[in-house]
Amino acid sequence: MELGYYSGCQGEYGDIADFVLFNSNISHLIGMGRMGLCLPKGCKQHHLDWFVEGQLKTVNGYLDYLADYYHHPKINSMFVREWSRVGMSLIKSDEYTESWRERTWPGVIPITIIISLIVALAIVSNLIKFYKYKQAWFSRKKDPILNGDRVETDGNMEL
């Protein structure tokens, strides 16, 4: 029984538990810890957010409390710095995905319109430039003596 995986949690305890993704990181270290949890269905996303907020206040508050001891070689090391902060999140996959869709849907239409207008402006400006280029190409006069090419002068040249 592997409860850290979505299929194990939902397959074995799907009627009483939900899969929750736990992410954590330390501000100056590269990488992130990720772990799956199987929590009771009664825990909603706002409960998880409240829990995470409390834990982050405690941990980061403790790091602030240690500010006087940051010059100690063991504390000011490669794992903990003066400005270190811990981040974490608990995301209930189904609820979070559904609320994410609801939160982002109002922005889809304006962004689609803006992107369409930018693409249309680029196409129209290129068509205008192409039209002007072709018009200039066909309207230039050909000089039979110079084999069809035209020499541009500023008018001060004497022949």
What confidence score (pLDDT) does residue 69 get? 61
Q: Locate tokens 């409240």: which residue?
A: 50
Domain locations in the chain? 6-109
**Structure confidence at residue 126 (pLDDT):** 92
Of the candidates 88, 96, 84, the one whose C-alpha atom is nearest the C-alpha of residue 54 is 88
* Tally of CB atoms within 10 A around 59: 16
Tell me 23's DSSP state.
E
Q: What is the pTM of this model?
A: 0.48
Six-digit token string for 17: 């538990």
The answer to whether the CB of 96 falls within 8 A of the CB of 45 is: yes
Q: What is the pLDDT along the chain (159 residues), one digit of tens a residue?
A: 465 777 778 787 778 888 888 888 888 777 788 888 888 888 888 888 899 999 888 888 887 777 656 565 566 666 666 677 788 888 886 666 566 667 677 777 888 899 999 999 999 999 999 988 888 777 765 555 555 555 555 556 555
